[in-house]
Amino acid sequence: MKVFHCECGATLFFVNSLCLSCSRELGFVPELLDLVSFTSAEGATIETPLGHYKKCANYLREGVCNWLLPTGSDEELCQACRLNDVIPNLSEPENRQKWQDVEQAKRRLIYSLDALGLRVLTKADDPVRGLSFDIKQSIGTERVLTGHAEGLITLNLSEADAAEREKMRVSLNERYRTLLGHFRHEIGHYYWDRLIADPSEHEAFRELFGDERADYAQALKAHYAKPADPDYAAQFISHYAASHPWEDFAETFAHYLHMIDTLETAEHYGFASGPGTSRDFEALMTEWYSLTVALNSLNRSMGLPDAYPFAISQPVKQKLSFVHDLIQAARRASSEATFSSSTRAGPGTSELSASTAV
């Protein structure tokens, strides 16, 4: 994530909706991947380098978003909020804060996907290949399972309760559990469907991750039935990744997003040398090793647990390289599709057309 700056010079963060230095309001313009500042007097016609923008309805009315959309749009919600199919029940007062935390993590996910050139489609854009989110809570015996199915990502709202989430993390013997991590994992399942559609890619996938045709339900049942193999890290990024090739891919994809976002942040603060999104894979990994060692040492100086509780073995590195190549290829395909569709002046056929033509 990059660092943002207000017109007044103050440093801003992705989630900010107010500059504490000059009291101007802030809004994120996804097409610019940037925050703009404005006065409340500007109301629904906020001036941006791309023309006039308005606040997302979840910004204006609910205070859970800080994104903007063009004033000319018929939509009321920004491109991130528009992906929601089910939102939490706001008659329960504590749900609003949880929803806000969920939306922050979701917007950070969408930012990374946009920055990588992986454009996200809504179900309205494409009912089959589009993406949507259900943010639900378990009611009575009806338990909500966090997961992905055919473009629908479901998140159990209890994951936004820090104490609940930590309890789950400990009981499942996990090293890392966050809202952002959940979204990055589930989107990995989504992109498996989108990016590994071709049978030739299935072969390359199976060589590294194993055969995904193995019975999924049975694999998960077996995984939870036996104690964690202490040597899992020799082959997998997490213990859960060992449960099934699909889970291995989703965990690896999530990890790749962790790396790219963290490297981008480090670059903006002067701790890394170039944008993670365009670097060659070996250079990216070299940078990543030294950054994470420093990151953990900083946390230990504060008496905190490691910020990066992972070790990357050679097989895991190969899997990350596979994800890197997959995303680079999708990015190239998307810019070619954007170019050819703009020269033909016809509609783009690729679902991965870049959100910003640069």
Amino acid at the residue 300: R
Task: For residue 21, state whether it binds Zn ion (rule: CB under 5 A).
Answer: yes
DSSP 128-159: TT-BEEEEE--BTTBPPPPEEETTEEEEEGGG
Interacting residue with Zn ion among 3, 13, 22, 283 (CB under 5 A): 22
Task: For residue 44, state whether it binds Zn ion (rule: CB under 5 A).
Answer: no
Q: In whole angstroms, how close is the CB of 116 to Zn ion at the nearest point?
A: 20
Interacting residue with Zn ion among 67, 183, 192, 236 (CB under 5 A): 67
Interacting residue with Zn ion among 14, 16, 19, 28 (CB under 5 A): 19
Contact 20, 6 (CB under 8 A): no
Contact 277, 264 (CB under 8 A): yes
Task: For residue 56, state whether it binds Zn ion (rule: CB under 5 A).
Answer: yes
Which residues, in sequence order, are CB contacts of 69 under 8 Å at separation 6+? 53, 54, 56, 75, 77, 78, 79
What does the alpha-carbon distance between residue 68 and residue 36 come to, in Å, rounded to a whole number? 9
Q: Which stretch binds Zn ion (CB under 5 A): 11-19, 134-142, 226-234, 277-285?
A: 11-19
Instruction: Kindly provide the b/e burial profile for residues 229-238, where b requires at least 16 CB atoms within 10 angstroms of the residue's own CB.
Output: eeeebebbbb
Per CB under 5 A, contacts with Zn ion among 234-253 are 247, 250
DSSP class of residue 139 equals B
**Number of C-beta neighbours around residue 104 at 10 A:** 18
Task: For residue 6, state whether it binds Zn ion (rule: CB under 5 A).
Answer: yes
Question: Residue 346's closest CA among 357, 338, 336?
Answer: 338
Of 36 and 56, the one with the shorter C-beta distance to Zn ion is 56
Lookup: tokens for 16: 């900010």
What does the alpha-carbon distance between residue 108 and residue 263 come to, in Å, rounded to a whole number? 14
What does the alpha-carbon distance between residue 51 and residue 104 come to, in Å, rounded to a whole number? 25
Interacting residue with Zn ion among 29, 35, 81, 320 (CB under 5 A): 81
Query: 53: helix, coil or strand?
Result: strand
Q: In whole angstroms, how close is the CB of 211 to Zn ion at the nearest point?
A: 17
Q: In whole angstroms, how close is the CB of 317 to Zn ion at the nearest point?
A: 21
Of 54 and 279, the one with the shorter C-beta distance to Zn ion is 54
Interacting residue with Zn ion among 10, 86, 294, 295 (CB under 5 A): 10
Q: In whole angstroms, how close is the CB of 56 to Zn ion at the nearest point?
A: 3
Of 208 and 263, the one with the shorter C-beta distance to Zn ion is 208
Task: Give me the 250-269 binding string for Zn ion, x by CB under 5 A, dash otherwise.
Answer: x-------------------
Contact 151, 216 (CB under 8 A): no
Task: For residue 131, state whether it binds Zn ion (rule: CB under 5 A).
Answer: no
Of 187 and 272, the one with the shorter C-beta distance to Zn ion is 187
Lookup: tokens for 344: 């033909």
Task: For residue 120, state whether it binds Zn ion (rule: CB under 5 A).
Answer: no
Interacting residue with Zn ion among 35, 46, 55, 58 (CB under 5 A): 58
Q: Which stretch binds Zn ion (CB under 5 A): 16-24, 118-126, 255-263, 295-303?
A: 16-24
Question: Residue 121's closest CA among 156, 90, 82?
Answer: 82
Tell me which residues touch Zn ion (CB under 5 A).
6, 8, 10, 19, 21-22, 56, 58, 65, 67, 78, 81, 247, 250
